């Protein structure tokens, strides 16, 4: 299949030998997990994965991600830094676990290794909008194991319903998290003025925020944890059809609307309102959750995984407005640990514009 010119041009500049900078912290990613909420027993969410490192120097020991193609996982940038002090990061230490999303599930766990990691050479913990990373797996995830998630390909409204998922423990103390301990909660997406009022570094172009009900939120241990929005989906229902009297009753399948979910964003931080500077907190009432918003980055993500945007996304026509995906001004996507080749922002902007003109 011939990809759009834009995807081809971006793929050509996704290469760099740069590594992810560290924020100076060296905490365990498993030390803080969300609690409360409901046990995750829903079917169809096996595309949520756990990311771990065998390297003891890893900045984050455990993270969450979402399978977006049979070969690729979308997660947060901090989750793919195997050793913040290494001059040449070794991504072979990254393991992705897919499968069992509840303790009652009978599914097996499947493990994959990372062979490439696409991130952002402008990565910074001071911003949520440029924290996406894509992991390329060493082998294909078969459809019999799980099918990839769809990304939400449109803008959102404050009233857009959202489902927050994280790997939980029963408390905020140190504990080993696993896919079988997944929990979820419905959250309320807030408007941009509110998001800015609780976090002065909030980026309305590439970030969304929510408030939580009761005593639940994701936090640092849930970097990369997904937030989904409900979308329209055509399923099937069985309805009897009555033919002529001498004929036996037939059963005819007709379309019916069923629930489906698309990925709206990935967890970056939880902020305690009223604190200056913004103070990260978790597992307490009144916190505001911040998430990297997927939509502004869909063009780049699609280019990395070599998939047309239309095949990667779903849009809820009844609950949200839509628009064409656009290029976020802050993102410069690079392949960490790859062949040394850098590109400036101005060069990439020119290439993107030229590609867009050629494509349209």
Q: What does the pLDDT look like over 80-134, one tens digit per residue?
A: 765 555 566 677 788 898 876 544 556 678 999 999 888 765 555 555 445 788 9
**CA gap 259, 348 in Å, rounded:** 39
Per-domain boundaries in the chain: 5-230+260-359
Range list of H helices, the chain:
5-12, 192-198, 298-304, 309-312, 345-359
State the architecture of 5-230+260-359 in CATH terms.
Answer: Beta Barrel (2.40)
> Residue 235 and residue 253: Cα distance in Å, rounded?
10
pLDDT at 345: 31
CB 189 within 8 A of CB 207: no
> Minimal CA–CA distance to 139: which of 88, 90, 67, 46?
67
Residues 6+ apart with CB under 8 A from 52: 61, 62, 63, 94, 95, 97
- List the one residue out of 344, 325, 279 whose CA is nearest residue 122: 344
Residue 148: the pLDDT is 94
Burial status of residue 8 (CB atoms within 10 A of its CB: 0-12, 13-18, 19 or more): middle
Whole-number pLDDT of residue 9:
26
Residue 61, pLDDT score? 60
Per-residue model confidence (pLDDT) at position 91 = 78
Identify which of 290, 301, 281 has the alpha carbon closest to the alpha carbon of residue 204. Answer: 290
Select from 179, 216, 224, 177 the least CA-distant residue to 63: 224
Give the β-pairing of 38-39 and 94-99.
Answer: unpaired
Phi, psi of 348 (to 5 degrees): -65, -40
Q: Is the pTM of this model over 0.75?
A: no
Q: CA 25, 90, 50, 155 torsion: positive or negative?
A: positive
Which residues of the chain, if any, have pLDDT below 50?
1-37, 102-103, 128-129, 169-176, 234-256, 283, 319-360
Q: What is the pLDDT of residue 84?
A: 56
Q: What is the pLDDT of residue 100?
A: 60
Give the position of tokens 């995830």. Answer: 141
Q: Strand runs (DSSP E) across 121-160, as ranges?
A: 132-137, 151-152
């Amino acid at each position: 299949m011939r990809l759009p010119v834009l995807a081809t041009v971006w793929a050509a500049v996704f290469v760099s030998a740069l590594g992810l900078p560290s924020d100076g912290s060296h905490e365990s990613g498993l030390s803080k997990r969300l609690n409360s909420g409901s046990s995750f027993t829903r079917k169809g969410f096996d595309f949520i994965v756990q990311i771990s490192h065998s390297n003891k120097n890893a900045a984050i020991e455990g993270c969450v991600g979402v399978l977006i193609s049979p070969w690729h996982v979308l997660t947060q940038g901090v989750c793919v830094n195997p050793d913040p002090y290494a001059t040449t990061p070794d991504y072979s230490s990254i393991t992705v676990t897919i499968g069992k999303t509840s303790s009652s599930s009978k599914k097996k766990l499947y493990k994959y290794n990372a062979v490439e990691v696409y991130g952002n050479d402008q990565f910074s913990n001071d911003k949520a909008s440029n924290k996406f990373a894509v992991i390329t797996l060493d082998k294909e995830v078969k459809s019999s194991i799980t099918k990839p998630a769809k990304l939400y390909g449109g803008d959102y409204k404050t009233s857009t319903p959202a489902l927050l998922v994280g790997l939980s423990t029963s408390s905020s103390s140190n504990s080993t998290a696993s896919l079988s301990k997944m929990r979820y909660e419905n959250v309320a997406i807030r408007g941009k003025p509110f998001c800015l009022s609780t976090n002065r570094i909030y980026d309305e172009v590439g970030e969304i925020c929510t408030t939580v009900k009761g005593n639940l939120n994701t936090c640092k241990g849930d970097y990369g944890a997904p937030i989904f929005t409900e979308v329209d989906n055509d399923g099937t229902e069985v309805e009897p059809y009555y033919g002529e009297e001498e004929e036996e009753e037939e059963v005819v399948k007709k379309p019916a609307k069923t629930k489906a979910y698309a990925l709206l964003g990935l967890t970056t931080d939880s902020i305690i309102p009223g604190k200056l500077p913004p103070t990260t907190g978790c597992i307490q009432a009144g916190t505001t959750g911040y998430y990297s918003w997927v939509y502004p980055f869909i063009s780049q993500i699609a280019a990395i995984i070599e998939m047309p945007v239309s095949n990667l996304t779903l849009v809820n026509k009844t609950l949200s407005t839509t628009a064409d995906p656009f290029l976020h001004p802050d993102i410069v996507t690079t392949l960490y640990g790859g062949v040394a080749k850098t590109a400036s922002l101005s060069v990439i902007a020119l290439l993107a514009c030229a590609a867009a003109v050629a494509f349209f």
